[in-house]
Each structure stands twice: as C-alpha cells, then as structure tokens.
Amino acid sequence: MLAVILAAALTRAELIDRLKTPPMTSASGLVRVYANCPEDMRSEFHRPVTKFVTKTCEALSLSTGLRFPRFAEPGIIVSIGSVRTNDTRVLERVYKRGDGTSYTQIYLPAPGFSDIQKFKLAIARAFALAVEKKAISIDEAVRLLRGINKSERISYNYAEIDRWLKGEKTELDDEGMMKLCRTVIEPGVARQSDVLRFASRLYLYPPYYAFPFAGKSHRCTFAQAIELMDIDPFVRFVALDKASQVIAYGGGRSEYLGDAAKAYSDFLLEIARAKKSKEELAAMLDKADLKLNIALEEARKFEEGAKR
C-alpha cells in the first residue's frame, strides 16, 4: 500500500527515471555507459554498446601496446539517448574534472541508427586521450583503428612502403618509414617487396667514410668482397658484422627468405674467417643467390594466389 501511495506521488518523469537501466562500467573502469532507456531494453541496446566500446578499447590496447591500470573514474563515458528516433549523429565532447583529468563523453541519440564508423573514430580519440593523455586528430584516429584490422593494416603498410620507395608522400616521416621497413609486417610471409628490400641490403660499407675499401670504394657487393678481402682487412671486419644483420633482415618472414638469409650469413662468416678459397666462397655465394631467386619466385606466387 505504501509503495502505491509513493508511486502516485511521483511525477511521470520521475517514474520513467526509476525505470531506466543503471550505468554499466567495464572491468578496467575505462568505459562507462549510461542508457536513457528502460530496463527491458538493456539487452537490446545498453549491454551491446558497452561490449562494443570495451572490445574496441581492448583491441586498441593490444595493437598499440598501450597498457593501463584500472581507472578510478571512467575516461570514456557513453550516453545512449532515445532509441525511438532515426538520428545517426555521434556527438563527442571533452570535459575536465576538478582534479585536472580529462574524459570524453560520447552521445548516441539513437544507438540503433548511429554511424558506426564515426562512433569508432570517437572511441579511438577518447582512448588516446584517456590512456595516452593526448588529443589526436581524425586522421590519427583512422590510423589507430587501422591497426586493429589485420588485413587492412597489412595492405596499408605495404602500400606506404611502396609509396615511400617511389618518392611519393606518405603519412609517416622518414624515421617512421625506416622503422616500418624493418618491421615484419606479415609474420611467416614474404612479399616481393620484402625480398627486394632484403636484396637491396646485400652490400658491405666501410666503417669510416673517409677510408673507402682498398682506398677507392665506399661500398662493395658480396662478389667484390671475395676479391677485396685479401687487400683490405676492413672487408672481413664488416662482413662479420653484416652476417648477423642479414639474418635479422630475412627473419620472421617466409621460410624461403629465411633460407636465403642463412646462406648469405654463412657466406659472410666465411669471408670473415678467410679459411676458404675464392672458388669455394664463390660457390657459397651462388648458392645463396639461387635461394634468393627462389624466395622471390615464391613471393610472386603467393601474391598471385592472394589476388584470385
């Protein structure tokens, strides 16, 4: 009877407010979602949105390597509006708390109609602000999201390298591109560009620019190293150093490129030891070159198969 009396005393707005679902917070405390909908719509809108935002943040954390402790206060607050409209907008605002920390509030007027891509971009920007304490642009958010889609990330990285090698503008600076070129983009796979970049590194360089090999050459091919090793001791010195680098250049990709890298490394180690004859060294180099050609052919076959 008391409940009935109290209910009668409440306004319509207060009654609706009491029926609203309570906020949901991710285990890390990073995400909190409020829903302006009754409890019976919790499973249809509230829980899926909470799961979507949380999973997107977890994927961003994994792809960027950014780990974070549990948040005492959420860094991303999502508010779900009335579900009975077809409003596609995704509204985001950054606010500051009294302690100086910032958080992002994302408002979905109608989650059933919201623009998912815009929503993901808002989540990425909010994630960067909460975890990295850094405001990022839409373009930077696009790159963040690209990192959680494996096939898109692989295609983008190879395209960026190709543009850079052609002298075209890329989204990364030179330092970023050099780092990308050293990265194993697709573990266990070598594309033609991987093999060709590996081949472009098959040179020896003197340790000091002012002292070229044999007083005349600032770089030499591996074949030239066979002739120069008895003339200039620096050739053997840099060959020893290059032997480990070559393994790193070819590692983590296809087994064919790995075999070629091992063959070149063995050859360079023999240059450094200077125990084999020039004929034996030439035979080792021919074997390594053959393995490299096989790696290039297998990369070509892989790419043709992927296009079908």
Q: What is the pLDDT of residues 206-229, one digit of tens each?
A: 998 889 999 999 999 999 999 999
Residue 6: predicted pLDDT: 41
Residues 56-67: tens digit of each pLDDT = 999 999 888 888
- Cα 216 to the center of its chain, rounded Å: 43
pLDDT band at 184 (very low <50, low <70, confident <90, very high): confident
| Residue range 238-293, pLDDT digits in tens | 999 999 999 999 989 999 999 999 999 999 999 999 999 999 999 999 999 999 99
Q: Is the pLDDT of residue 235 over 90?
A: yes
- Specify the pTM: 0.60
Q: Which residues of 268-295 are buried (b: 16+ CB within 10 A; e: fewer)?
A: bebbbeeeeeeeebeebbeebbebbeeb
